[in-house]
Amino acid sequence: MIRVALLWHMHQPVYVNPFSGRAELPWVRLHGIKDYSGMAGVLGEFPGVRSTVNLVPSLLLQLKKHLAGEIDRFQEVAQKPAADLDAVEKTLMARHFFSLHPVHMIQPFPRYQELYSRRSELAQGNGTSADWRDLQVWSTLAWFDADRARADERVQGLREKGRGFSEADKIMLFEAQHDHLAGVIPAWRDLESKGLVEVSTSPMTHAILPLLLDPRVGRVANPTLPLYDLDFNWEGDARRHVQDALDFMQHHFGVRPRGIWPSEGSLSEKVLDLFQDLGVTWTASDEINLARSLNPGKDADWSGLRDKHLYRPWIAGKRELRILFRDHDLSDRIGFHYQKMNPQEAVEDFMLRLREIGQQVKDAVVGVFLDGENPWEHYPDNGRAFLRNLLARLQRDEQVEAVTLSEAVSMKAERLRSLSPGSWINGNFDIWIGDESDRRAWKQLQRTRDHFIRNKDQLSEHETAEAQYCLDVAQGSDWFWWFGPEHHTGDLEVFDRLFRLNLRRVYELTGTEPPTELIMPISSAMDESLIKARPPIRPLNPVLDGEVTHFFEWRDAGRLNIHAGQGVMNTGESVLVAVYYGFGDGRFFLRVDTRDQAKERLHRKEQLRLGLRLPGGAVRKLVLPPEPGFGNGAVGSVIECELALDALNLAVGDRFELNLEWRRDGRVLQILPQDGFFAIDVPGPKDYATYWRA
């Protein structure tokens, strides 16, 4: 008898901006109506196939918040009346509303394909209200699981309609979406109660525990990494990540998980001790970590030992905690390769390989662990033909039994002397600590955590919990996945920024100005974050009264591009709509226009802060308008102010950098630019001659 243990890992990082409280990417919602609901439906069709679903709390927590009304930025734009969309929102749609597999998820729908073929035109803001409305609908409608869509007359009716959607259609669409999302957790709870799946979990925000417990383990797993000076032991944090996850899952499922799929399949001896201490009975990882535990430094010899050792549970040291290591090849075949094959041929290949294992190994236990959401859009029909064929074959094959992980590890286990630390990617932690960008992020995280520890006694209970949660989010593995050169995403700027915003929030909760480094991008793949401002063409001499006194007052001013560097979104509410600047008679002038009357906003305890980075690296933070003695200013419908160049030690030819923050009750609503600074040169007469234009 061959026992195969399927584990479907379902996970999303925390996309919520800690300042706005809004999710900045839509993947919880969109995968929710496709994979998190659809997979439960398919697995429920085959009662003879038991498997394990690993649900990460950070995913479920965001799902619950969405259902409570905290919708993501993309849904906000999709719900807005199409006739009211502004240029920024249309740019967001043209860039992101086609972010799905074009062959399998766009081409099947003629109207969506038509809009996709016109995306260059749409990127210029061109298109009718009907075009934009249809795109708003299809960017969600195409994600619904096909089986669930056919069973819901609202969704199926919209698919059959195809085009010419109304605003009422959009309302119905998002009502259907809400209903489908509301069924996700109950569906998995029902499958577990029937014994069809075992629900396991991962650390609360998907933290990579070996590096929290000892970042030097990165060089243990790969001694060729350069030396680095990270040295800490955040055992309390690691313990909280696991304890909170177990408590969260018990609260929502009524059963405490027996097993933990460690984030990124990453284990170490210290992690095993932590799991056992918290009552976890099983965990899992990739076969490469078993190979290195049995035969250190001799990966090439593993093929000769693989069949003998891989297909059984293991125990490390004197612990009782069981470990099952996955068959890397079989797991990757489902995750990456079978999508290119005919479904029946792919299933036949899988079963043939299972039978070969059974012929070589008596009572084999085969672990097949992979993402439960990401592979399917690369398959035709969301992989349903392949998955149903696979489950049907497993159910009727008398020589194969599909089991849960708890059942799999109950078989006779062998004992390792010790476990080699590593992840499911190459048996090391290079992706998360191997690049200088990764280590820069860890150092920023360490400094922020140290700052929190020093200052937490002055915080209220609520502030302490919020700051700790921001640190927990920043400890998630996903940010580090993208910082280095190994992986690419069009959303890199969002991941980079969300990591830094969580750290900034910790400083602000303690009443401390965040360090300037948290303004600058971490990833080496991002562009240098100095954005050249459009220069003024003549010296200025504005009347500082908070009003645009006459047309020519600021006509020759330079201008800061408020959309530069902000990608598709900002940290929260958009307040600033235009920023002008210039020089004259030894002074630097600045005018800031707000969405409504600036004076009314400042009366509501809102605040505009100017950050300056001066030649030599000195940094100054000022509240605008400036206090008397350092500058001058006025607030009316706009904000106008001046700063003396002498007070800033600036002269003609110097370059300085600035950014702006709009705050309400101490919380940042908007940052310009979102990353880095605007670069401004102090002009002289020759510069004005160069800048002048008719």
Encode pLDDT of 333-349 as tens digits: 999 999 999 999 999 99
219 residue type, one letter? R
Encode pLDDT of 307-321 as tens digits: 999 999 999 999 999
Percent of the chain clearing pLDDT 70 (strictly above): 96
pLDDT band at 564 (very low <50, low <70, confident <90, very high): low
pLDDT at position 311 is 97
CB–CB of 56/248 below 8 Å?
no
Percent of the chain clearing pLDDT 90 (strictly above): 80
pLDDT at position 299 is 65
Q: Please tell me whether residue 624 adopts helix, strand or coil conformation.
A: strand
CB–CB of 261/301 below 8 Å?
no
Mean pLDDT for 558-584 is 72
pLDDT band at 693 (very low <50, low <70, confident <90, very high): very low
Is residue 276 scored above 60 in pLDDT? Answer: yes
CB–CB of 44/147 below 8 Å?
no
DSSP letter assigned to residue 483? H
Encode pLDDT of 46-105 as tens digits: 999 999 999 999 999 999 999 999 999 999 999 999 999 999 899 999 999 999 999 999
- CA torsion 111→116→118→122, rounded to 10°? 100
Task: Specify the range with the lowest mean pLDDT, choosing from 265-269, 275-279, 488-492.
Answer: 488-492
pLDDT at position 567 is 41
Instruction: Quote the pTM value.
Output: 0.87
Q: For the chain, what is the radius of gyration of the CA atoms?
A: 28
pLDDT at position 205 is 98
Average pLDDT, the chain: 93
Q: Which residue has the higher pLDDT, 472 or 629?
A: 472
pLDDT at position 396 is 97
Encode pLDDT of 655-678 as tens digits: 999 999 998 887 788 888 877 888
Mean pLDDT for 609-636 is 87
Distance CA 331, CA 326 (A): 7
Assign 3-class secondary structure to 649-689: CCCCCCEEEEEEEEEECCEEEEEECCCCEEEEECCCHHHHH
Q: Which residue has the higher pLDDT, 105 or 600?
A: 105
Distance CA 348, CA 335 (A): 16
pLDDT band at 571 (very low <50, low <70, confident <90, very high): very low
Distance CA 358, CA 321 (A): 26
In order, the DSSP letters of 119-183 are HHHHHTT---HHHHHHHHHHHHHTTS-HHHHHH-HHHHHHHHH-S---HHHHHHHHHHHHHHHHT
Nearest CA to 395 among 384, 387, 406, 385?
387
Q: Longest Cα pair distance anywhere in the chain, in angstroms?
A: 90
Is residue 326 scored above 70 in pLDDT? Answer: yes
CB atoms within 10 A of CB 694: 2
Phi-psi region at 54: left, alpha or beta (left = phi > 0; alpha = psi -120 to 50): beta
